Chains A and B, each alone.
Chain A
Amino acid sequence: MNTDFSQCVLRARDGDADAFAELYSLVYKDLYRIAFVNLKNQHDASDVVSDTVLEAYSSIKKLRDEKAFKAWIIKILTVKIKNKQKEYIKNRDYREELDVLESVEQERSEEINYGGLEIMEEFRRLNEDERLVLSLSIVSGYTSEEIARATGLSANTVRSKAARAKIKLKKMLSER
């Protein structure tokens, strides 16, 4: 971590909005995209990211290790996402029975040519935990352990959820 970054954290702790924005510029795309794929629409995603920024800004003094800024703010984001999901009562999408019996043959397909929109539509049909785990893994490149720390799940649970989410996603796409 370079000195500028650490300086930004120090300045942000003193209430410097521009310094916080500099830190934010390193992660804002990830924050929004994680929120977007986990919530119903762009407005909720914007709201959650805005709330995350406000909370992070007001509590950055609690951040002890400036190197952990990204993990720290993503953890705040995951809490906000979960709170928003609770507001939904439950995810709105219909759920179909997911027959995983044939997942083995689905797994053998390496080449994926599905369209982006199809993938996104089906991605949103995953359950909340699966979406969160998969998006953290794909958007942020987090390891299972890092996702576990951000979500409060165990690393083993994260791994199994991520694997199941991918199988389900492929299955749903193959049935389109």
Chain B
Amino acid sequence: MKFEERLSEIISEVEVPDELLPQNIAEMLRERSAASVKETPKNVSRDSAQRRAIIIRTSAAIAACAVFAVGMLAYGGEREAQKQLEAPIEYEAISPDSYDTLYNIYTGITLNGGDAPDSERTVGDETAEIPDGRISDDGTVNDHTDFSDPNISEADIVKTDGNYLYCLKGSTLCIISLETMEVVSEIESSLEPPVEIYIEGDRLILISKEKGELYVIDNGTPKADISSSETQDSAPAPGVPAQDADTLQMADENSGAPEETVSDDRTGVSAYGGDTYGGNGKSAIPASSSAVSRTNAAVDIYNISDPANPYHTTAYKQNGSYVSSKIADGVLYLVTAYSDYRVKPLDAREDLDSFVPAYYLNGEKHYLAAEDIIIPGGAASTDYTVVSAINTNSSETTASVKAVLGSNRNAYCSADTLYVVGEGKKDREYSIISSFALSDGGITYSSSGAVDGRVLGHKSMNEYGGLFRIAAETTDEDGKTSVSVYVLDKSLKVINSAGQLFPEGKASAVRFERNFARVIDEESGESVIVLDLSANPPTLAQSLTGNSAYLYSCSEDMLLGVGKAQGGGLSLTMYDADTGLTVNGTVFAAEEGEVFSKAFSDRRAVLIDEEKKLIGVPVYSHNEFGTKNSYYVFTYDENGAITQKGVIDSLDVDDSSVFRRGSINGDALFIVGGGRIISARLSDLKVIGTYEY
């Protein structure tokens, strides 16, 4: 099915509410004509309700952010820096004491189109604490995690343990002997193609995504969670496993709608679910049903003590799309974004599936306890960030899970802290930051803070030197946007900031590297403003210019930028990590025409070996013969001088075998991509062999 057709099909599934049906519209028009009074139908109470405010910090007027405008100086030229003191923002966070309370808050947000109801805090609650929990965190993909800590493992599509290569290819994980370059075993995933893998000792951890939808019949009664074969008809006690599918199907039969129950048998999915749409799975869905989101991230753990005979030990999954992960001390921290997309009103508080995230451990479904859900004050959306800590060390895997309401995907994880950023709105938009301490496989809420503006995305935040940095965008009354950059301390209090940056353009992100913040122009993809955050207030730095998507640490003192060269080819620039100034100029690797590279969108595609002082960059370009794949290898010295060591080329008919990763093992270089491995001698880059898998 073509993309447009699929999109059209999806939109056509959106149901029109009863009040907008033609027969009701006629009635409305008659009433309006008679009364000449406009009113909009609302059928759900805006009851903000009895929340037991547990937390966290009193409405301690936040971080009034003194925002210093420095960008104007550099780019406006004539304008003076101005100091702007914004009004306080309320960011008090609570944790509901029951699903009823959560439902009321959740419904309030839905009805307000983004405005959470005012919090009603109970006297004395200021000193209450969020129960200790074990939430997890995020980590891996691209910029979500700080990997400067050697104790943190990063997931990837290719891993090696020194003896074997572990490569993802479609739905198959191939384990390949580095000695013989033969596939010794394969693991087939029944879910969507696996996303990433970890190798932790004798365990292989496979992360996949599972597409699934919960179908809801017209009367609002949930009927089947296709992805899991488990449904919920009534609210269980917090943390209590949900009923199994058989029990619920019986209940459905008793309710008179058995034929509308969709079971695994009908869709043919495995115990851990499977794709239910985009293909024939859709035909099993009754026409009268509608859907709410149930995409899951799945974690499968295999024992690979004998790589030729791996076996499955643990299955875990949680609601939401995979955002990122990391492993620290044997604990997998997993973050998912759980969006509230619904085509029908939320009208059944007993239907936990419609407003409470869930997770599954070895097939057993658990809803998050209400007290494990954190709701920052002013939360303006019903999206969740779900975080879990999965202890993979013990023989019996355990998981602790928490969620933050009002945020989606914007998460960042340092070695010991997870930051989740959500949206708030009262009289203006702001970003609410919640931090969690990660230790001993648990996750504990730490603190909350807020900054003005809408966060620019997960690529616009990080932690460095114990300080959290974040960029947000604000829009003035005329619709013009500008960017602000904030530095917050451990208690999430703003201690440094710069505002009104790049008002003449549109920033796509602000990248933080070491002490620098780079404002990236959406149009050109280049850094247009660089701030030195070591000064307070920040100062403009005339450095780190160029179009490198990422900067890579090549040593304590040097940062590498990799980008497209003007006129074709690749450019590499080494910067001084302290000053941001270019050292030893820029090296160009010439290619005819425009080059593409996985490195432009995925930080992990660039190989840096600090010990051998090697840099590997995969690129590809198109010519009349097809696709030219090239793997460039450079060396650099202690002064930052870069020299091209060589290039390995492969001319292919199409893009199916684009080079994606390079890996060094001993004296050999392995280039992996599209089911092909090219091995080469590191000393002279002579190709030893090419292997298909």
Interface residues of A (CB under 8 A from B): 15, 17-18, 20-22, 24-25, 28-29, 32-33, 36-37, 40-44, 46-47, 49-51, 53-54, 57, 86, 88-90, 92, 94-99, 101-102, 104-105, 108, 110-121, 123, 134-135, 138-139, 166, 169-170, 175-176
The interface bits of chain B over 455-495 (1 if a CB of A lies within 8 angstroms of the residue's CB, else 0) are 11111000000000000010100010100000000000000
Are B509 and A90 closer than 8 Å at their CB atoms? no
Q: Which residues of A contact B525 (CB under 8 A)?
A: 97, 99, 101
From A43, A50, A94, A139, name the one whose CB has the most chain B CB atoms within 10 angstroms: A94
Are A118 and B321 closer than 8 Å at their CB atoms? yes
Q: Which residues of B contact A101 (CB under 8 A)?
A: 525, 564, 596-597, 600-601
CB contact between A138 and one of B8, B41, B114, B428 (< 8 Å): that residue: B8
Are A53 and B1 closer than 8 Å at their CB atoms? no
The interface bits of chain B over 9-46 (1 if a CB of A lies within 8 angstroms of the residue's CB, else 0) are 11111101101111101111110110000101110000
Are A94 and B457 closer than 8 Å at their CB atoms? yes
CB contact between A117 and one of B1, B295, B345, B564 (< 8 Å): that residue: B295
Determine the distance from Cα of A49 to Cα of B33 in the docked complex, in whole angstroms. Answer: 17
| Whole-angstrom distance between the Cβ of A103 and the nearest chain B Cβ | 10
Are A94 and B11 closer than 8 Å at their CB atoms? no
Are A102 and B40 closer than 8 Å at their CB atoms? no
**Nearest 8 interchain pairs by C-beta:** A113-B278, A21-B26, A25-B22, A17-B29, A116-B10, A97-B508, A96-B457, A97-B509
Q: Given A32-B14, A116-B213, does the pair A102, B457 have CB atoms closer than 8 Å?
A: no
Q: Which residues of B from 325 to 355 have beta carbons under 8 Å from A? A: 339, 341-345
Please, which residue of chain B has its CB at the minimum distance from the CB of A139?
B11
The interface bits of chain B over 290-313 (1 if a CB of A lies within 8 angstroms of the residue's CB, else 0) are 011111000000000000000000
Q: Given A17-B33, A28-B25, does the pair A116, B295 have CB atoms closer than 8 Å?
A: no
Please, which residue of chain A has its CB at the minimum distance from the CB of B476?
A89
Determine chain A's interface SS by DSSP, over half rule.
helix
CB contact between B2 and one of A25, A95, A112 (< 8 Å): that residue: A112
Please, which residue of chain A has its CB at the minimum distance from the CB of B16?
A32
Q: Which residues of A contact B342 (CB under 8 A)?
A: 42
Please, which residue of chain B has its CB at the minimum distance from the CB of A118?
B295
Are A176 and B209 closer than 8 Å at their CB atoms? yes
| Whole-angstrom distance between the Cβ of A19 and the nearest chain B Cβ | 9
27 contacts between A and B (CB under 8 A): A15-B33, A17-B30, A20-B26, A32-B16, A37-B14, A42-B17, A42-B345, A44-B113, A46-B19, A50-B20, A51-B40, A54-B38, A90-B429, A92-B381, A94-B409, A94-B423, A94-B456, A96-B459, A104-B596, A115-B275, A115-B295, A117-B294, A123-B7, A134-B7, A138-B11, A170-B3, A175-B601
The interface bits of chain B over 591-606 (1 if a CB of A lies within 8 angstroms of the residue's CB, else 0) are 0000011101100000
Q: Which residues of B contact A98 (CB under 8 A)?
A: 508, 522
CB contact between B3 and one of A33, A99, A166 (< 8 Å): that residue: A166
From A40, A96, A139, name the one whose CB has the most chain B CB atoms within 10 angstroms: A96
Q: Is B149 an interface residue (CB 8 A)?
A: no
Determine the distance from Cα of A21 to Cα of B31 in the docked complex, in whole angstroms. Answer: 14
Q: Which residues of A contact B21 (CB under 8 A)?
A: 28
Q: Which residues of B contact A36 (CB under 8 A)?
A: 14, 343
Determine the distance from Cα of A41 to Cα of B622 in the docked complex, in whole angstroms. Answer: 43
Determine the distance from Cα of A17 to Cα of B22 in the docked complex, in whole angstroms. Answer: 10
Please, which residue of chain A has its CB at the minimum distance from the CB of B277?
A115
Q: Is B111 an interface residue (CB 8 A)?
A: yes
Q: Given A33-B12, A96-B458, A118-B211, does the pair A50, B28 have CB atoms closer than 8 Å?
A: yes
Determine the distance from Cα of A151 to Cα of B292 in the docked complex, in whole angstroms. Answer: 31
Are B17 and A92 closer than 8 Å at their CB atoms? no
Determine the distance from Cα of A32 to Cα of B1 in the docked complex, in whole angstroms. Answer: 25
Are B458 and A94 closer than 8 Å at their CB atoms? yes
Determine the distance from Cα of A62 to Cα of B216 in the docked complex, in whole angstroms. Answer: 43
Determine the distance from Cα of A175 to Cα of B456 in the docked complex, in whole angstroms. Answer: 17
Please, which residue of chain A has its CB at the minimum distance from the CB of B595?
A101
CB contact between A29 and one of B16, B29, B113 (< 8 Å): that residue: B16
Are A22 and B22 closer than 8 Å at their CB atoms? yes
Q: Which residues of A contact B440 (CB under 8 A)?
A: none
| Whole-angstrom distance between the Cβ of A126 and the nearest chain B Cβ | 11
Q: Is B83 an interface residue (CB 8 A)?
A: no
Are A117 and B213 closer than 8 Å at their CB atoms? yes
Are A92 and B596 closer than 8 Å at their CB atoms? no
Are A94 and B12 closer than 8 Å at their CB atoms? no
Are B600 and A102 closer than 8 Å at their CB atoms? yes
Q: Which residues of A contact B601 (CB under 8 A)?
A: 99, 101-102, 175
Q: Which residues of B contact A110 (CB under 8 A)?
A: 2-3
Are B23 and A21 closer than 8 Å at their CB atoms? yes
Determine the distance from Cα of A108 to Cα of B11 in the docked complex, in whole angstroms. Answer: 23
Determine the distance from Cα of A20 to Cα of B16 in the docked complex, in whole angstroms. Answer: 18
Determine the distance from Cα of A97 to Cα of B142 in the docked complex, in whole angstroms. Answer: 12
Determine the distance from Cα of A92 to Cα of B381 in the docked complex, in whole angstroms. Answer: 9
Determine the distance from Cα of A28 to Cα of B25 in the docked complex, in whole angstroms. Answer: 10
Q: Which residues of A contact B32 (CB under 8 A)?
A: 54, 57
Are B3 and A89 closer than 8 Å at their CB atoms? no
Please, which residue of chain B has its CB at the minimum distance from the CB of A48?
B40
Determine the distance from Cα of A57 to Cα of B564 in the docked complex, in whole angstroms. Answer: 56
The interface bits of chain B over 245-281 (1 if a CB of A lies within 8 angstroms of the residue's CB, else 0) are 0000000000000000000000000000001111100
Q: Is B408 an interface residue (CB 8 A)?
A: yes
Q: Which residues of B contact A114 (CB under 8 A)?
A: 6, 278
Q: Which residues of B contact A51 (CB under 8 A)?
A: 40
Q: Is B380 an interface residue (CB 8 A)?
A: yes
Given contacts A94-B454, A98-B508, A134-B7, list 10 more A-B pairs with CB under 8 A.
A20-B25, A42-B343, A96-B457, A96-B459, A99-B549, A101-B600, A102-B600, A105-B658, A138-B4, A176-B209
Determine the distance from Cα of A90 to Cα of B345 in the docked complex, in whole angstroms. Answer: 24
Q: Is B520 an interface residue (CB 8 A)?
A: yes
